[in-house]
Amino acid sequence: MRILVVGAGIAGLLTARGLARAGVDVTVLEAAARVGGRIYAEEIGQGVFDLGGQWIGPSQPRMTALAAELSLATFPTYDTGRKVLDVDGRISTYAGAVPSLSPLKLAILQTTIWRIDRAARRVYARDPWNAPDASSLDGRTLQAWMAATVPSRLVRDVMTTAIRVIFGAEPRDLSLLFALWYIGQGGGILSLVEVRDAAQATRFVDGAFAVPQRLAAGLGDAVRLDSPVERVDWTPDGVIACTPHEEHRADRLVIATPSNMTSLIRFAPELPASRRTLQRRLPMGATIKFHALYERAFWREAGLSGELVCTSGPVSVVFDNTSHDGRQPALTGFCVGAAALRVSEMAETEQRRVFEDVLVRGFGEQARSHVAFRIKDWTLDPWVRGCPTGIMPPGVLGTHGPALRAPIGPLHFAGTETAREWTGYMEGAAEAAERVVQEIVA
């Protein structure tokens, strides 16, 4: 059997590895000049810094096991000290998982988180379109639900910030069904946004980009870079995938790219209507990630963890991203959602000034004295066009969700957006690869 895999992110590479181990002849076609997809890192200053996805957590067993298998060292994300909250320019600090608010607003915030998590648990991870009230949930936005159920503007702003960071999008962009499904897969709101014992708990010493690099090295010449698939001709008996310079014939083909990028491939015959709708109406969130590097971790000296949460402005959250050995102190921030689309229009010098101003407001004038500054705008990446994940507006998941993972003749679909656990994360990519390998070799 011969299989083609389109996309050399973690999902595509793990799919290829699983098939190769089962004795299948497999080739990976990657459009970009590198592997990794939304995972990418560079050496900056005295450390390696991830410009895309970078964290794993204790409830992500596949990635934890993969790190050990690939002999990739990890270390805990720094979270010692107080966090900083910026509410419309008013600065305060707090400890714990939720900001320090008045007793009434704190109660509203905790109740809101509890209600979202409870509703998320009622949405089935494998088939959310069959959940109770799926049609009703998919017919409204998360913002509409918050406006109707959260009486405090400040609490709505705090929740909106969390949603922006999780999805790279505004609550108005998200179907309530989709948001609950996504949140439930990751164990709840706090599991997705917190550091300790949560999704941001652990970092890779050599950067998360080492994962796809080592997976690709293990596959050798089976990985073809600079090979964008432009057309796929398929019949029940096989496929022909065409790149600008080659034709590749195989028995089956696995699509392991984001749905928005799959829409660039011409299929003959056309894919079924629900699958085409998913590819057209599952855009990527918008994220700009930046690293500010310093000679010393002055925020730690001031008793701060390096975490900054902003309810307005161009930056939603900042984390301490100092190298594992402490030699290269760094703060890493995320500009997401509508703010990312606005900032993306600016020149890079203006972007840096805007981001510096946020850091100075949160951590003091020393934040302007960086020794290096690196910005990665994922909306401009030609083979990804956004981060961290694909998002669904109302009317997509409930109606067209069954097409998300369903094979079509010789065509199979991987990618983290198709995951049944931790969709949108590296763990979700690993789960999707596991599923597709089972579909093919079972």
Strand, coil or helix: what is 47? strand
Strand, coil or helix: what is 36? coil
What confidence score (pLDDT) does residue 332 get? 99
What confidence score (pLDDT) does residue 96 get? 86
What confidence score (pLDDT) does residue 161 get? 98
**In angstroms, rounded to a whole number, what is the distance separating the alpha carbons of residues 101 and 94?**
9
* CA dihedral sign of residues 43, 69, 213, 254: negative
Contacts (Cβ under 8 Å, ≥6 apart) of 391: 167, 168, 169, 173, 174, 178, 282, 283, 284, 285
Q: Report which of 441, 440, 439, 431 is spatially closest to residue 126, judged by C-alpha positions.
A: 431
Contacts (Cβ under 8 Å, ≥6 apart) of 382: 32
The answer to whether 37 and 48 have CB atoms below 8 angstroms apart is no
What confidence score (pLDDT) does residue 431 get? 98
Instruction: Give the strand pairing for 74-76 and 304-310.
Output: unpaired
What confidence score (pLDDT) does residue 300 get? 99
What length does the chain have? 442
Give the position of tokens 């699983």. Answer: 18
Instruction: Give the strand pairing for 25-29 and 266-268.
Output: unpaired
Beta pairing partners, 122: none
Contacts (Cβ under 8 Å, ≥6 apart) of 368: 356, 359, 360
What confidence score (pLDDT) does residue 6 get? 99
**In angstroms, rounded to a whole number, what is the distance separating the alpha carbons of residues 209 and 37?**
10
What confidence score (pLDDT) does residue 99 get? 87
Residues of the chain with pLDDT under 70: none
Residue 331 parent element (H or E): strand 330-336
**In angstroms, rounded to a whole number, what is the distance separating the alpha carbons of residues 169 and 319?**
19
For Cα atoms 364, 369, 374, give the angle at the middle one, nearest 5 degrees: 110
**In angstroms, rounded to a whole number, what is the distance separating the alpha carbons of residues 341 and 324?**
32
The answer to whether 28 and 5 have CB atoms below 8 angstroms apart is yes
In the chain, count H helices and then E strands: 16, 21
What DSSP state is assigned to residue 78? Answer: P
The answer to whether 216 and 14 have CB atoms below 8 angstroms apart is no
- DSSP one-letter string for 369-391: --SEEEEEEGGG-TTT-S-S-B-
**In angstroms, rounded to a whole number, what is the distance separating the alpha carbons of residues 258 and 379?**
13
What confidence score (pLDDT) does residue 439 get? 97
87 C-beta neighbours (distance < 10 Å), count: 17
**Domains along the chain with CATH numbers:** 2-38+209-283+392-441 (3.50.50.60), 76-80+197-203+285-380 (3.90.660.10), 102-193 (1.10.405.10)
What confidence score (pLDDT) does residue 117 get? 97
What confidence score (pLDDT) does residue 366 get? 98
Strand, coil or helix: what is 393? coil
